[in-house]
């Protein structure tokens, strides 16, 4: 297993200039023009009604339309009284924002909560309240929101250990994993697992009880049956930023059983980054490499911290983790979640811009490129031909046994799937002439990724 901080990059990208055209043209999700020379990897979407940071963000679908949701947070005053319970949603097809009923927490406004969507219901977990005297109290509340009716349901079973600034991710659209974080007086090793179907909590295998794993302000995702999280603030003088990457293998027969491992890497460093999934890889954007209080001022007393323009990527099939600092992305920090629209497209809302300015800006991140360095070494000889293709794509392999191949468009939407013994065939006659990505898997997981050009 190798771990790289930086790798050479040959980026092929999508331009999103048409994303903000007229509503009737499906512009926010459908009209992606391939102007590779411009090298644009994101689009700025309609701004939020108000500037907000440290807000919980997720996505849900209503009548086949994806919506972005934001709950709680801190306004542009950046003081304790600016912490609130406001909620909004954005229609990704029209770009219109709508005010929702506030989060029903009688204890008042809170920050550092996290939101997850399971079976199209939203669950808002934890967070913390700040009093006028500066004291902070972690929340044990679990709020439940129904996107179809825009209403808050009765709260779920309280979180066994109050938690904030934690890592939160969903496994198989069924369980919510709440991993480490801060609880009132310090970082904790607990892994708390919520089952929305039964409204119950169970204890997962805790992370190792040391500063490498116990952090607040970290972020991560679950891909398949594996948890990946990085960054965060460790215990110690001025809460130093952690440079440790953690991997948690979930036992699918007993999802509370997790095998933890990790490694040190400069590329793992980052505080309050946005984490998402991109074609089977884990990615992080934004954040800062200096830990700070909720007002954006460094814990070490050095003043306001810088928001970073960067992306990190972790490749499960090679174990490589690296920074992509040279790419042009928004400088944004203080992010508490993403709205994952599909396998290759996610949205951030709010946060802090350079100068610790609380932001109302919204960004959609997607890219058609796969870095040359991200392509896994094939486990067996595999041939994809012809390429470019305008009819039938053939996948040949020396692999014995069942292989499954999936083809994705640049947005991460699956457009074709076949399985069986090679050679496999996929018809591309109904596909647009553009770049696609072919991922093939066996019973051991991802075997390889190949760029496919559909066209003459």
Check residues 80 and 341 and name the one with the higher pLDDT.
80
* Alpha-carbon span 428 to 11, nearest angstrom: 25
Q: For residue 428, what are its two tokens?
A: 């591309």
pLDDT score for 144: 98
E strand intervals along 337-423: 339-342, 345-349, 352-353, 357-358, 362-366, 382-385, 392-397, 403-408, 414-420
pLDDT score for 33: 35
Residue bearing tokens 């974080």: 181
* Alpha-carbon span 191 to 180, nearest angstrom: 6
CATH code linked to domain 375-453: 2.60.40.2550
pLDDT score for 86: 98
**3-state secondary structure at position 399:** coil
- Nearest Cα residue to 352 out of 298, 281, 276, 283: 298
Rounded (10°) CA dihedral 320, 322, 328, 333 = 120
Residue bearing tokens 């200096």: 290
Check residues 76 and 423 and name the one with the higher pLDDT.
76
Q: For residue 401, what are its two tokens?
A: 């046994």
Percentage, residues of the chain above pLDDT 70: 83
pLDDT score for 326: 59
Region of poorest pLDDT, from 2-16, 154-168, 401-415: 2-16
* Alpha-carbon span 128 to 137, nearest angstrom: 5
Q: How confident is the model at residue 22 (pLDDT cuts 50, 70, 90)?
A: very low
Over residues 362-389, the mean pLDDT reads 65
pLDDT score for 423: 83
pLDDT score for 446: 59
Q: Which pTM was predicted?
A: 0.81
* Alpha-carbon span 88 to 71, nearest angstrom: 7
Contact indicator for 241, 271 with CB cutoff of 8 Å: yes
Contact indicator for 301, 321 with CB cutoff of 8 Å: no
pLDDT score for 28: 43
Over residues 175-183, the mean pLDDT reads 98
Cα three-residue angle 303-308-313, rounded to 5 degrees: 140
Over residues 151-164, the mean pLDDT reads 98
Over residues 30-45, the mean pLDDT reads 52
Does domain 17-372 match CATH 2.120.10.80?
Answer: yes
Q: Locate the domains of the chain by residue range.
A: 17-372, 375-453
Over residues 233-239, the mean pLDDT reads 97
């Amino acid at each position: 297993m190798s771990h790289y901080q930086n790798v050479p990059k040959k980026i092929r990208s999508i331009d999103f200039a048409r994303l903000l055209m007229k509503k009737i043209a499906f512009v926010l999700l459908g009209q992606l023009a391939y102007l590779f020379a411009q090298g644009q990897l994101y689009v700025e979407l309609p701004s939020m009604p108000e500037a907000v940071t440290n807000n919980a963000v997720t996505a849900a679908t209503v009548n086949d339309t994806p919506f972005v949701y934001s709950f709680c947070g801190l306004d542009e005053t950046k003081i304790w009284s600016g912490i609130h319970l406001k909620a909004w949603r954005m229609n990704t097809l029209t770009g219109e924002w709508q005010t929702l009923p506030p989060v029903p927490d009688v204890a008042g406004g809170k920050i550092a909560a996290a939101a997850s969507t399971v079976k199209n219901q939203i669950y808002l977990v934890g967070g913390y309240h700040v009093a006028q005297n500066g004291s902070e109290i972690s929340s044990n509340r679990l709020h439940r929101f129904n996107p179809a009716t825009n209403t808050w349901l009765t709260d779920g079973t309280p979180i066994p250990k109050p938690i904030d600034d934690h890592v939160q991710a969903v496994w198989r659209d069924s369980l919510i994993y709440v991993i480490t974080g801060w609880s009132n007086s310090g970082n904790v090793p607990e892994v708390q697992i919520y089952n929305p179907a039964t409204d119950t909590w169970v204890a997962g295998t805790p992370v190792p009880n040391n500063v490498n794993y116990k952090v607040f302000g970290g972020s991560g995702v679950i891909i398949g049956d594996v948890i990946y999280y990085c960054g965060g603030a460790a215990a110690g003088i001025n809460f130093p930023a952690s440079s440790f990457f953690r991997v948690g293998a979930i036992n699918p027969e007993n999802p509370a059983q997790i095998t933890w491992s990790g490694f040190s890497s400069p590329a793992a460093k980052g505080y309050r980054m946005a984490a998402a999934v991109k074609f089977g890889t884990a990615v992080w954007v934004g954040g800062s490499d200096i830990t700070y209080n909720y007002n954006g001022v460094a814990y070490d007393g050095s003043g306001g911290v810088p928001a970073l323009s960067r992306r990190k990527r972790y490749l499960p099939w090679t174990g490589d983790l690296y920074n992509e600092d040279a790419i042009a992305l928004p400088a944004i920090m203080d992010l508490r979640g993403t709205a994952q629209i599909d396998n290759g497209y996610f949205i951030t809302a709010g946060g802090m811009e350079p100068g610790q300015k609380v932001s109302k800006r919204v960004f959609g991140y997607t890219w058609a490129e796969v870095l040359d360095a991200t392509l896994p070494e094939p486990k067996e000889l595999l041939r994809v031909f012809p390429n470019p293709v305008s009819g039938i794509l053939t996948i040949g392999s020396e692999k014995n046994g069942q292989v499954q191949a999936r083809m994705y468009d640049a947005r991460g939407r699956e457009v074709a799937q076949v399985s069986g013994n090679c050679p496999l065939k996929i018809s591309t006659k109904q596909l647009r002439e553009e770049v696609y990505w072919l991922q093939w898997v066996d019973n051991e997981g991802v075997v390889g990724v190949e760029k496919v050009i559909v066209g003459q």
